[in-house]
Structure 1
Amino acid sequence: MTNMFFEQSISNFLEAIASDDPVPGGGSVGAYTAATGIALVIMALKISIKKTNNKGQLLNLIKRSQFVLDALKVNLIEDIECFSSFIEAKNKPNNNEIESNNRQLAINEAAIKATAVPISAASHCVTGLKIAVESIAICRKTILSDVYTGANLLNTSCNSILLNVDANLNLISSKDKRNSYSNAKIKLMTEASDLFHAVKR
């Protein structure tokens, strides 16, 4: 996995998104936005830990949050890589039956990967929202707006990331896999919505 993405400036990243190159696209941008959401939760926890007698619980939440942040960074790169692989598969030669079959197999494999990555990223958004719910109860009141903002970004990112499931589902040949991913998508969207409303209460 290349770390070139993380070596560029935010300005260059925004220019890359605004270019006519298909990557970074919705999935990787969604993962990045989700990462900023959980980063805000981490910030709120770290500020709160300075003046509390409940350091153990806060440290546990920070550790769990950092895992989510690191996982989303991996998902971001995976999304760019798997979409690039999907484009390569679509561009394979298609001049005879053997080439056509090989191309279709490559597209199917690339579509599975391009569906599995957003499911993974969305599951990390849900985990981040669970942490946000726990954080609301113990973070300092003066910093709660950042937890709310982080939760908002995680919820919106989850829904945005899962749009890629719809985009790739019909390209997967196995009906069982399609149903499995479709059900996972619905479950994640429901969980994210319920957790977000719990944060807002």
Structure 2
Amino acid sequence: MFKNLTVEKFLQEVASENPTPGGGTVAAISGAMGASLISMFCRVTAKGKKYVDVKDEMERIGEEGDKIREKLLKLADEDTKAYLEVMQAFKLPKESEEEKEKRREAIELASQRATEVPLETAKEIVPLLEMVIEIAPKGNPNAISDLKVGMELCYTGFVGAVANVQVNLSTLKDQSFKKEIEEKLEVVIDRAEKAIAEGRKIIASYGYSC
């Protein structure tokens, strides 16, 4: 869906009066852009004669970044689809008690899916943040600013995905499902916060304090 749009067309879609693509989709795209820069940093390093010792490692991590980027692009589409399913559920008839019950069930199921998708986005982004810790000290310092941008894009995508999980959690009725998601969210937030703090610390040693 969105991966085949030009950058200009995608931004026009985001800026329109339509509710989709919204923050969840943009969060996934942000993570995908960050993944691209992480892969670029790895490949710039791998081709340098000074970095023969880490060439294989950088190429491997660059490929991992590519795979995560593709997953995030799919999640960008999934987020919009999930939101549209919620909207469709709200449009179901509600005249009889039976219709009302079916509508409530449909809304709950669609809302659960709309919660799961951004959680998946957040989970996919965490390894990208952890990659930065691994590659920043070993990579080409001439591309460290690109890695910095990639890391911050990933973190922005992560924060956006978490926000979408949290806003959807507030609408759920199934307390067991809600608790399960909250527990998973706590784990990924902890990993992400540790990773971004360490990544920023390492990159700051190159002179990037912002």
Does the alignment reach a TM-score above 0.5? Answer: yes
Aligned to 1:8: 5
User: What is the correspondence of 1:114-193 to structure 2 with a 5 Å cutoff?
Assistant: 114-193=114-193
Q: Deviations over 1:61-118 (max 9, x none)?
A: 0121111111101110100111111110111111111110111111111011101101
User: How far apart in 2 are the matches of 1:134 and 1:71?
Assistant: 21
Aligned to 2:45: 48
Secondary structure of the equivalent of 2:92? coil
After TM superposition, give the deviation of residue 190 of structure 1 in Å.
2.2
Aligned to 1:66: 66
User: What is the correspondence of 1:20-99 to structure 2 with a 5 Å cutoff?
Assistant: 20-51=17-48, 52-53=51-52, 54-99=54-99
Check the 8 A contact 1:119/1:185 in 2, yes or no: yes
Q: Report runs of 4+ in structure 1 exceeding 4 Å deviation.
A: none
Check the 8 A contact 2:3/2:73 in 1, yes or no: no
Secondary structure of the equivalent of 1:5? coil
Check the 8 A contact 2:46/2:56 in 1, yes or no: no
User: How far apart in 2 are the matches of 1:178 and 1:6?
Assistant: 31
Identity value in percent: 24
After superposing the two structures, state which structure 1 stretch, 116-125 or 184-193, moved more: 184-193
Check the 8 A contact 1:107/1:171 in 2, yes or no: no
Secondary structure of the equivalent of 1:105? helix
User: How far apart in 2 are the matches of 1:8 and 1:149?
Assistant: 23
Number of matched pairs? 198
Secondary structure of the equivalent of 1:111? helix
User: How far apart in 2 are the matches of 1:46 and 1:87?
Assistant: 43
Structure 2 residues without counterparts, runs of 5 or longer: 202-210
User: How far apart in 2 are the matches of 1:77 and 1:67?
Assistant: 16
Secondary structure of the equivalent of 1:6? coil
Over aligned residue pairs, what C-alpha RMSD do you find? 1.1
User: How far apart in 1 are the matches of 2:123 and 2:69?
Assistant: 12
Check the 8 A contact 1:135/1:147 in 2, yes or no: no
Find the partner of 1:19 among 9, 16, 19. 16
Secondary structure of the equivalent of 2:173? coil
* TM-score in terms of structure 1 length: 0.94
User: How far apart in 2 are the matches of 1:70 and 1:7?
Assistant: 12
Letter in 1 for 2:112: I
